[in-house]
Amino acid sequence: MIKRSTLILVVLFLSVSLYTTVDGQIRLPRPPKIGIPKPPSNDTPRPPSADEAPGGQSWFSAIARFRRGYDPNLTVAEDRAKFISPYLECYAKKHSLDKNKVGSYYRTFNGVNEYEIKNILKEELPELAKLEKEFKAMFPSRPNNGKSIDDNPAIWDEILTNRDEYYQCAVNDLPDATDCNRLSDSDRVVMQSFKEDMQKTLDDIRSFSTGRNWFVRDFNDSRNEYLLAALRPSFFKDLNAFKQKLFTCSGLLDQIASEAKQTLPKYHLVGYSVRNAAEEKLIRGHVNDLHHATVHKSGFGSAVWTIQKNAFGIPEKRYKHGAIWAKYPVSITEDGFCRIIYLNIIQDYAGGGTYGASYPYFVKSELAGCPAGK
């Protein structure tokens, strides 16, 4: 009986010890922690998209930020697309794309000679090298998403990286002043005008017959520069580079020279048989190098004065047409032809029906044949 009572006391003691009090509160035993499985994470990185630039922004926004750039010398940022715009057509050709799909940036070269654009693009190549370095640092991945320059980093990447190749492609399509087949549009228009006048000159040469009092019509300041350039190397050399180029590109100078040499010897001074020693002395004295020439003939077309009047019918001056037919040494003329020098004798109106003293006025000098045997 005592043993059983003792066992009950021990059990009670142990039960009380499990429920000890702290600050008057009963502390219950903590249940063991049971792990609750977490749902799968959605933070797994997505594969990069060709439509998105780094940081998840659109390529349009990312490229727009690059295009603006920064230049402390400019008040307003200049669109860097101007540097690759001359090469977009080459890019389209290389990849067999519609150039409208590649996109465009309208760049003007205001006030720049068309032939200078080549040099401008060449001088910009170092700038493209700088842009390449910056573009690749800004966009380590530059996928081709098939869009235009506004959205497609691959277009920028290829042109900037292969700038020398694209430069050669672009300049091949630009006007070249040294190539008659690649003249600028404006030069082709001018050359066409020159060719039309040259053809008229050829027609005049071919239609000439003895007795006609003119050989070819004048186009340039009372002379025919096409005939002079064809027959006189020094005259051609003295032309400005622009005319030299277009005269040569016309392909007609040699033909004019060849046919003129056959016909020009037959062209002589016709008429001008009126003689006046005093007035002839005036016109001869007005040609400062005539002492080098042999004069075959001089005279006037008429003994009668031609009166020039103003809009109110009041006389202004009167004049006579004169001419000198002479031959200069080949060392001076180069071509071996004679010259017909046209001059007028003029008297200004002095009022009351009277005129002042006579004075000479140079009109023009033209190539001509020489008298037989001269």
Query: Which DSSP state fits 342?
Result: E
pTM recorded for the entire structure: 0.67
Distance, CA of 76 to CA of 150 (rounded, Å): 20
- Hey, CA dihedral for 244, 249, 250, 255, is it positive or negative? positive
pLDDT tens series, the chain, 374 aa: 444 544 444 444 444 444 444 444 444 445 555 555 555 555 555 555 677 888 888 999 999 989 987 665 655 678 899 999 999 999 999 999 998 899 877 788 888 888 899 999 999 999 999 999 999 999 999 999 999 999 999 999 999 999 999 999 999 988 888 899 999 989 999 999 999 999 999 999 999 999 999 999 999 888 999 999 999 999 999 999 999 999 999 999 999 999 999 999 999 999 999 999 999 999 999 999 999 999 999 999 999 999 999 999 999 999 999 999 999 999 999 999 999 999 999 999 999 999 999 999 999 999 999 998 87
| Residue 22 CB neighbours (<10 A) | 7
In this structure, the number of other CB atoms found within 10 A of the CB of residue 280 comes to 19
In a 10 Å sphere around its CB, with 0-12 CB exposed, 13-18 middle and 19+ buried, how is residue 177 labelled? middle
Please report, to the nearest 10 degrees, the dihedral formed by the alpha carbons of residues 87, 88, 90, 93 taken in order: 180
Nearest CA to 147 among 53, 285, 218? 53
C-beta atoms surrounding 298 within 10 Å: 22
Residue count of the chain, please give it.
374
Three-class SS string for the chain? CHHHHHHHHHHHHHHHHHCCEECCEECCCCCCCCCCCCCCCCCCCCCCCCCECHHHCEHHHHHHHHHHCCCCCCCCCCCCHHHHHHHHHHHHHHCCCCHHHHCCCCCCCCCCCHHHHHHHHHHHHHHHHHHHHHHHHHCCCCCCCCCCCCCCHHHHHHHHHCHHHHHHHHHHCCCCCCCHHHCCHHHHHHHHHHHHHHHHHHHHHHHCCCCCCCCCCCCCCCCCHHHHHHHCHHHHHHCCHHHHHHHHHHCCHHHHHHHHHHHHHHCCCCCCCECCHHHHHHHHHCCCCHHHCEEEEEEECCCCCEEEECCCCCEEEEEEEEEEEEECCHHHHCCCCEEEEEEEEEEEEEECCEECCCEEEEEEEEEECCCCCC
Which amino acid type is present at position 127? E
Pairing of the two strands 21-22 and 25-26:
antiparallel
Closest alpha carbon to 245 in 296, 186, 165 = 186
